[in-house]
């Protein structure tokens, strides 16, 4: 068993902020230690340094934060939370797509429920306990935490700051938003005050209270670094990014503003080591409360579904599609049975707005669609054939799913043809390949070199479209490449996923 060493370091902070000092001059507030947890507590500042004093906030609201211990029964296979592997080839277009979020790291430290001596990693199948945090939202025992903290738990125990322990019932958990609601059999508990995350500003001080590594009621502080931050595979939450030190075990704990109001739930960290590295992400409390209300009312969360896969539009793709600037969400694939297909959307369309709300980036679209109730109509503005068009779509339910057919082995492979300018050797799909997949058209890449290889195209990819126009045969494809300017966008399919890849021909 490896020893753990705790070290102490003194950090000297020199703050030059004349403007801030002049603003706060004469504004000295103090917390009332005897005030109830629901009191409207003003910010407390040190008159000598101008730095915030969090002691009153912690005294008033520390008792509202709980430790959540989730026991996992033994099972055959368990994949520890938070590790998401990237393609290993840096030229791979899928790698390049995710690299902007992950950097050169194996994955996010999301799902940091482990803590103390037992981090919940029961990969050997022996079971275990994962530790997280939560906070009381109602005096009669309702608690919010992260869904990944209690995921697959056989039992959940909540420990209050006064050391009382309660067996908790999971009222509901929503994996998409990572919000869970617990209930313990207790009355007259101290409860947090819910704030308004939309009124928070980048640069404001915030405080986290939780149980990192099992050290309960630990207080850390920092500032809001960004708002409405989108993360890979977390498409329905506009996260609050902070530099508050958050570590394994902080998951599910509250993020306070200086008024003592909860504005977020700490959920994800970005880390190369598994520990804090300056990037923490919290679920806005208004989003969490919407989920809480639905979970308590129906036991599940209803979200709208469009039935498309989208990707960002960079400058190369914008040039390929004749757009004045990069914007919107580029449709890379359409579920043939989904709402988008019924409304006539197709790969290569760029969604610019939904019901008048602009889609500045592809990450904006999932949350906009999810907020629309299934069955309602939505007005889309799209970019197609170098012009804006309108589309009306009846939003579906996110619960709808469609299984992807397995690919079939190729037989009687037709001859291939080399496209020298692009650098790909391609051939048509065989009847067996069409029957074994959902593909109706496209060209299979036999070999890639030159510009195509530099962009990450590889053997086995299926080219479905050029600049949004479907590819049906070799002569048509050759003509499209010949008439392209300095760049073009190829829609490729690989492993059941589709993505537009910009190719520099210059």
- Which CATH number fits the domain that encloses residue 102? 2.40.10.120
- Check whether 106 has a pLDDT greater than 90: no
- Quick check: is 251 catalytic? yes
Tens digit of pLDDT for each residue in 423-444? 888 888 887 777 766 778 888 8
- Check whether 321 has a pLDDT greater than 70: yes
Residue 18 forms part of a structural domain: no
Same domain, 294 and 429: no
For residue 265, which phi and psi values (nearest 5 degrees)? -115, 120
Same domain, 288 and 325: no
Q: What pLDDT is recorded for position 422?
A: 84
Instruction: Show Cβ contacts of residue 331 under 8 Å, excluding neighbours closer than 6 positions.
Output: 308, 309, 310, 340, 345, 346, 347, 348, 349, 350, 351
Q: How far is CA 362 from the centre of its chain?
A: 12
Tens digit of pLDDT for each residue in 29-73? 333 433 444 445 555 544 445 688 999 999 999 999 999 999 876
Q: What pLDDT is recorded for position 127?
A: 55
Instruction: Extract the tokens encoding 416.
Output: 């291939």
Cβ(384)–Cβ(351) below 8 Å? no
- Quick check: is 53 catalytic? no
- Which CATH number fits the domain that encloses residue 343? 2.30.42.10
Same domain, 310 and 454: no
Same domain, 240 and 209: yes
Same domain, 238 and 198: yes
Rounded-to-integer distance, Cα 254 and Cα 252, Å: 7
Same domain, 287 and 358: no
Radius of gyration of the chain, Cα coordinates, nearest whole angstrom: 26
Residue 12 forms part of a structural domain: no
Query: How many residues can be counted in the chain?
Result: 506
Q: What pLDDT is recorded for position 6?
A: 33
Q: How far is CA 147 from the centre of its chain?
A: 14
Instruction: Show Cβ contacts of residue 122 under 8 Å, excluding neighbours closer than 6 positions.
Output: 72, 74, 75, 78, 128
Residue 381 half-sphere exposure toward CB, CA atoms < 13 A: 13
Residue 140 forms part of a structural domain: yes
Same domain, 422 and 293: no
- Check whether 132 has a pLDDT greater than 80: yes
Instruction: Extract the tokens encoding 272.
Output: 């190369």
Q: What pLDDT is recorded for position 181?
A: 96
Tens digit of pLDDT for each residue in 458-504? 888 899 999 888 888 888 888 888 888 888 889 988 877 888 988 88
Same domain, 387 and 432: no
Same domain, 279 and 346: no
Same domain, 329 and 387: yes
Residue 2 forms part of a structural domain: no
Q: What pLDDT is recorded for position 329?
A: 92
> H helices then E strands: how many in the chain?
11, 28
- Check whether 173 has a pLDDT greater than 70: yes
Candidates 92, 178, 335, 364; catalytic one: 178
Task: For the chain, give the mean pLDDT.
Answer: 78
Residue 1 forms part of a structural domain: no
Q: What pLDDT is recorded for position 419?
A: 63
Q: What pLDDT is recorded for position 36?
A: 45
Token pair 């308004």: residue:
196
Candidates 148, 230, 461, 487; catalytic one: 148
Cβ(243)–Cβ(252) below 8 Å? no
Token pair 């603003």: residue:
23
- Quick check: is 121 catalytic? no
Cβ(301)–Cβ(398) below 8 Å? no
Q: Which domain holds residue 493?
A: 417-504
Cβ(443)–Cβ(426) below 8 Å? yes
Q: What pLDDT is recorded for position 359?
A: 93
Q: What pLDDT is recorded for position 262?
A: 97
Q: What pLDDT is recorded for position 39?
A: 45
Residue 13 forms part of a structural domain: no
Instruction: Extract the tokens encoding 239.
Output: 């996260």
If phi over 0 gives left and psi between -120 and 50 gives alpha, with beta otherwise, what is residue 475? alpha
Give the residue, 81 or 138, on which the prediction is more confident. Answer: 138
Of the three residues 299, 333, 358, the one that is the final residue of a domain is 299
3-state secondary structure 415-443: CCEEECCCCEEEEECCHHHHHHCCCCCCE
Q: What pLDDT is recorded for position 176?
A: 87
Map residue 447 onto helix, strand or coil: strand
Same domain, 312 and 288: no
Tens digit of pLDDT for each residue in 371-421? 898 999 999 999 999 999 999 999 998 764 333 333 334 445 555 566 667
Q: What pLDDT is recorded for position 234?
A: 63
Residue 156 forms part of a structural domain: yes
Of the three residues 245, 273, 299, the one that is the final residue of a domain is 299
The torsion defined by the Cα of 375, 305, 336 and 415, in degrees rounded to 10, comes to 170
Residue 17 forms part of a structural domain: no
Q: What pLDDT is recorded for position 441?
A: 84
Same domain, 291 and 308: no
Number of separate domains in the chain: 3
Of the three residues 299, 328, 348, the one that is the final residue of a domain is 299
Burial class (CB in 10 A: 0-12, 13-18, 19+), 342: middle
């Amino acid at each position: 068993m490896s020893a753990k060493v705790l070290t102490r370091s003194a950090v000297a902070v020199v703050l030059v902020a004349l403007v801030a000092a002049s603003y706060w001059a004469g504004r000295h507030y103090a917390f009332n230690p005897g005030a109830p947890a629901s009191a409207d507590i003003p910010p407390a500042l040190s008159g000598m340094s101008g730095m915030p004093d969090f002691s009153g906030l912690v005294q008033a609201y520390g008792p509202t934060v709980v430790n959540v211990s989730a026991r996992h029964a033994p099972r055959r296979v368990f994949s520890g939370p938070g590790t998401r592997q990237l393609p290993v080839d840096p030229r791979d277009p899928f790698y390049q797509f995710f690299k902007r979020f992950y950097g050169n790291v194996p994955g996010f430290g999301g799902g940091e429920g482990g803590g103390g001596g037992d981090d919940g990693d029961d990969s050997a199948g022996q079971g275990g306990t994962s530790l997280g945090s939560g906070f009381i939202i109602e005096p009669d025992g309702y608690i919010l935490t992260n869904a990944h903290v209690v995921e697959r738990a056989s039992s959940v125990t909540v420990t209050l700051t006064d050391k009382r322990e309660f067996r908790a019932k999971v009222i509901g958990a929503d994996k998409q938003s990572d919000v869970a609601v617990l209930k313990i059999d207790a009355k007259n508990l101290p409860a947090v005050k819910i704030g308004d995350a939309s009124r928070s500003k980048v640069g404001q001080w915030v405080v986290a209270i939780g149980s990192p590594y099992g050290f309960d009621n630990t207080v850390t502080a920092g500032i809001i670094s960004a708002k409405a931050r989108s993360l890979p595979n977390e498409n329905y939450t506009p996260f609050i990014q902070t530099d508050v030190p958050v570590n394994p075990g902080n998951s599910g704990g509250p993020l306070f503003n200086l008024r003592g109001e909860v504005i977020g739930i700490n959920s994800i960290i970005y880390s190369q080591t598994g520990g804090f590295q300056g990037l923490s992400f919290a679920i806005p409390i208004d989003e969490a409360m919407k989920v809480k209300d639905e979970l308590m009312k129906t036991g599940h969360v209803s979200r709208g579904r469009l039935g498309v896969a989208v990707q960002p539009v960079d400058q190369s793709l914008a040039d390929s599609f004749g757009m004045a600037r990069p914007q919107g969400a580029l449709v890379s694939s359409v579920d043939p049975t989904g709402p988008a297909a019924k409304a006539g959307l197709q790969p290569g369309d760029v969604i610019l707005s939904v019901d008048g709300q602009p889609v500045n980036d592809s990450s904006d679209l999932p949350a906009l669609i999810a907020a629309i109730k299934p069955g309602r109509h939505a007005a889309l503005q799209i970019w197609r054939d170098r012009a804006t068009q309108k589309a009306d779509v009846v939003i579906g339910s996110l619960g709808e799913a469609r299984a992807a057919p397995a690919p079939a082995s190729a037989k009687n492979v037709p001859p291939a043809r080399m496209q020298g300018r692009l650098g790909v050797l391609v051939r048509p799909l065989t009847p067996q390949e069409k029957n074994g997949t959902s593909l109706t058209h496209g060209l299979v890449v036999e070999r890639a070199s030159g510009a195509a290889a530099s962009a990450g195209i590889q053997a086995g990819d299926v080219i479905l479209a050029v600049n949004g126009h479907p590819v049906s045969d070799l002569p048509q494809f050759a003509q499209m490449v010949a008439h392209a300017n300095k760049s073009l966008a190829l829609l490729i399919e690989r492993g059941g996923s589709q993505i537009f890849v910009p190719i520099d021909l210059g």
